Amino acid sequence: MNKLKTAKIAKTLGADVIIDLKEHSINGPLSLLHLREKLENRLSSSGGRPTDSRWGLRRQIPFQRRYWHFLQDTSKFLRKEGEPASPGQLAAILLEDKINEIIAHKEQSFRGQTAASR
């Protein structure tokens, strides 16, 4: 839906905030589809293991065992569905998504504070 239609609908409904769902994670049955789409868009291969060319750093990150098992299970499922991604790649994408949400929230809060001080 284009931005003009979205704005018109929001105005008609009296919405204060418009959230583009394409940019936010979805908690529910569609989460796996959303993750799979992100993997398809982000990971590419030139013959080896698929990776995101923007990843320039590699770090060790500690996990609780249950979260690492979740990443492993999800990775196995996606591999069976034809989307090869390691548990670490899944973790990186999920972590980046959450960090981007926090950044967007901070920016929105800052804009709100700036507008209120005028």
Instruction: Write down the domain spans for the chain.
Output: 31-42+63-118
Angle between helix 65-80 and helix 87-116 axes, rounded to 10 deg: 110
Q: What is the DSSP letter of 44?
A: B
- Give the pLDDT of residue 117: 61
State residue 44 phi and psi, 5-degree precision: -140, 155
User: Which residues does the chain have with pLDDT short of 50?
Assistant: 24-26
Q: Give dist(CA 82, CA 87) in Å, integer.
A: 15
- Give the pLDDT of residue 81: 82
Task: Map residue 51 onto helix, strand or coil.
Answer: strand
pTM of the model as a whole = 0.65
